[in-house]
Amino acid sequence: MTKFLLFLILLVLCWPLALLALVLYPVLWLLLIPFRLLGIAVDGVLVLVKSVILLPARLLGGARR
């Protein structure tokens, strides 16, 4: 809702810039998809490394959450 209100304010103040943003936003979203996938992959690898490092403590009965 906040983004929509900011868009409306931009539309009132500078409508050509608002229309340009409206057209370019989907293109930018498509260009950022590979970076999102890379972020998901890096997060998965970090979780895997963390679980491998903490495995001995879990096997020995470390602190439970």
| pLDDT confidence of residue 59 | 87
pLDDT band of residue 19 (cuts 50, 70, 90) is very high
| pLDDT confidence of residue 63 | 61
| pLDDT confidence of residue 46 | 98
Query: Side-chain half-sphere of 58: how many Cα atoms within 13 Å?
Result: 7
pLDDT in tens, 23-61: 999 999 999 999 999 999 999 999 999 999 999 888 888
Token pair for 56? 């001995």
Query: What is d(CA 30, CA 9) in angstroms, rounded to the nearest whole number?
Result: 25
Angle at 22 between CA 20 and CA 27, to 5 degrees: 90
SS3 content of the chain, % helix, strand, coil (to 5): 90, 0, 10
Query: What is d(CA 62, CA 55) in angstroms, rounded to the nearest whole number?
Result: 10
| pLDDT confidence of residue 5 | 95
pLDDT band of residue 65 (cuts 50, 70, 90) is low
